[in-house]
Amino acid sequence: MPFFSMIFSWWNSATWGTWVTTWLRGSPVGSDAFGNRYYQNKDGSRRWVIYNGTVEASRVPPDWHGWLHHTYAEPPTTAPFKTKAFEAAHKPNMTGTDGAYRPGGSLAGQGQRPPATGDYQAWKPE
């Protein structure tokens, strides 16, 4: 990681202050499938994440989100989520990327609107 981007931006990864705090006071708790690493202080009252890449909150899976916000006392490394068969895997917000949802009539999609079906009558003022 370039040194200047770490000093002058917070959206590329952790800032130098977060790295110092993690190094001095943090104890590692675990990591997720996206490569994000999770830490807490000695007494467990503060919890934080160091993102693998761009800092984007939607990249935190639900089980780790619950642990970060003190909803769950135990991290997913010791008490994993019990997932149901119908649940889809977590996917981060894809807005602004090539993986974003683009409906059929949008300009970013195919660019062709479907033809009118005739079930709509335009309003005409009298």
Phi then psi for residue 76, to 5 deg, are -60, -15
Residue 41 lies in a domain: yes
3-32, pLDDT tens digit by residue? 666 666 666 677 778 888 889 999 999 999
Residue 108 lies in a domain: no
CA 93/CA 35 separation, integer angstroms: 16
Residue 12 lies in a domain: yes
Number of domain units in the chain: 1
| Percent of the chain residues past pLDDT 70, beyond the cut | 86
Of 56, 51, 47, nearest in space to 14 by CA: 51
The mean pLDDT value of the chain amounts to 84
The range of the structural domain enclosing residue 17 comes to 3-68
Residue 125's pLDDT is what?
92
| pTM confidence score | 0.70
Of 66, 25, 22, 21, nearest in space to 42 by CA: 25
